[in-house]
Amino acid sequence: MLRALPIALAAVLPQAADARTAPMTTIPDAAVKTAVTLRDDAGRDDTAYELLRSLTSEIGARLAGSENDLRAREWAVARFKALGYDKVWTEPVTYPRWVRRSESAALVAPYRHTLAVTALGNSPATPREGLTAEVALFDSLDALKAAPAEAVKDKIVFVSVRMKAHRDGHDYGKGSRVRSRGPALAAEKGAAGFVLRSAGTDSNRFPHTGVTTWDAKGRQIPAAAISNPDADLLETVIRQGQPVQLSLNLDCGLDGEYTGANVIAEITGSQKPEEIIILGGHLDSWDLGTGAIDDGAGVAISMAAGALIGQLPQAPRRTVRVVAFANEEAGLYGGKAYFAAHQAELSRHVLGSEADFGGDRIWKLDASVKPEALAAVDQMMQVLGPLGVIRGDERAHGGPDLSPMHAAGMAAMNLVQDGTRYFDLHHTANDTFDKIDPAQLAQNVAVYAAWAYMAAEADGDFGSRAGAFKNGVEEH
């Protein structure tokens, strides 16, 4: 459902609120005016673009638990300080470390082709000499589930599901499910290995990595993604009817426990410093590209937005907190650690949103807020509408790393980015800085600076309290 409240009506809603029992949340006129200025200044500002250039060139790939993961934290601390944030600190995040050392794959019978392959996060290694086995093709997880065990046993299961590009990226649901659930399902049926058609919308020869999830006591098998063109080739050869053999050689796996950190910074509120507007992105990335769209962009957008708010002559009433989350990719570890550390302060987290869908233009605002705060959201829309943002629906999750907070009751918004090309690049070697459009990135900063400032200035809250919202944790 799209809502676009006429400005005239929005303007009268604060008054109308007086007639209700529960007070309406509204944003003072002066704050709306400041937000307009902030928006326009942010739209011309290159702070986010230069932060992202710096992060992707000076650090680059930031696999959770890697040396670059540490360097990225040091980078974030230094940058937050340089940007004038009032407080900067880190909070520990502990998780199993997964490492990728080498990977290769080939179609070896009836013809020989090198395949563009990448191991999935959490995949164990193959034997050192590799794994060679016949391929069993399935066109869905349901088909794999329905298959008799003998059709799978000792084979390399290949699940081929195509994703199409959409602005809201909704096909990722089916693509990522194959990646996250397929290997465990194939393992349970006795498969020797697993490959999927990459969960991506491109036709480039880049495999898309991403995490897979094992059942607690289940078998684990080597699991990898092949690029879309390689999946096409494999299907072509399989359809010719001869037995098809694949060889997989993955050197990767878990390597102990690692303690990284969320990097957190604040512009301290002038009147209600204990009340928090929270925004952020995740600092880790997969190791194949330089993590520009996923999620250097989100880190840069939120860092820059907070910095611009901090540069105002007068700090906002509430605190604006920016979090560069640790290890989102392997399972929201940073988001879960934040929740564990801060759930007691949930009601003081007034409103939150993480940016984790690239750097292209924001086109929609979804909001999970209390009904009495919808008028304030409509006031935000007055400021965001001229940036091309339309009002979405009343269900948001706040982005992956804030979804645990939201699931527990924090009011949240999603500033939904245009994801049309996101899954062309996502989790590939092709996720690099050149894919960032500076004008669209600046529009993101304008949106984040404006909404965060208005939320920090609002009279009244957005409904954060334990159990207030019933949405689940976002899949990643």
- Nearest distance in Å: CB 59, a copy of itself: 7
What residue type is 234 in one-letter code?
A: L
Q: Which is nearer to a copy of itself, 129 or 434 (CB)?
A: 434
Catalytic residue of the set 103, 275, 328, 457: 328
Active site residue 328: yes
434 touches a copy of itself (CB under 8 A): yes
229 touches a copy of itself (CB under 8 A): yes
Among 57, 102, 259, 271, binds a copy of itself (CB under 8 A): 57
316 touches a copy of itself (CB under 8 A): no
- Nearest distance in Å: CB 288, a copy of itself: 9
- Nearest distance in Å: CB 204, a copy of itself: 6
Which part of the chain contacts a copy of itself (CB under 8 A), choosing from 117-125, 189-197, 397-405, 433-441? 433-441
Q: Binding pattern to a copy of itself, positions 107-146, x when CB under 8 A? A: ----xxxx-x------------------------------
Binding to a copy of itself in span 265-294, by CB under 8 A: 289-290
The angle at the Cα of 231, spanning 227 to 234, to the nearest 5 degrees, equals: 140
209 touches a copy of itself (CB under 8 A): no
Rounded-to-10 torsion of CA 231, 233, 236, 242: -100
Tokens of 471: 């949405």
Among 102, 203, 259, 271, binds a copy of itself (CB under 8 A): 203
- Nearest distance in Å: CB 232, a copy of itself: 5
Among 198, 228, 302, 443, binds a copy of itself (CB under 8 A): 228
Q: Which is nearer to a copy of itself, 151 or 233 (CB)?
A: 233
Q: Binding pattern to a copy of itself, positions 36-55, x when CB under 8 A? A: -----------------x--
76 touches a copy of itself (CB under 8 A): no
205 touches a copy of itself (CB under 8 A): yes
CA–CA distance, 243 with 236 (Å, rounded to integer): 12
How many residues sit in the footprint of a copy of itself (CB under 8 A)? 32
Asked if residues 87 and 268 have their Cβ atoms less than 8 Å apart, the reply is yes
Among 206, 333, 363, 448, binds a copy of itself (CB under 8 A): 206
The Cβ of residue 118 has, within 10 Å, a number of other Cβ atoms equal to 27
Q: Which is nearer to a copy of itself, 77 or 380 (CB)?
A: 77
Among 6, 236, 313, 344, binds a copy of itself (CB under 8 A): 236
Rounded-to-10 torsion of CA 450, 456, 462, 467: 110
- Nearest distance in Å: CB 429, a copy of itself: 5
Among 155, 197, 318, 435, binds a copy of itself (CB under 8 A): 435
Binding to a copy of itself in span 158-197, by CB under 8 A: none
Among 59, 157, 308, 456, binds a copy of itself (CB under 8 A): 59
- Residues labelled catalytic: 328
Residues that bind a copy of itself (CB under 8 A): 53, 56-61, 111-114, 116, 203-206, 228-229, 232-233, 236-237, 240, 289-290, 428-430, 432-435
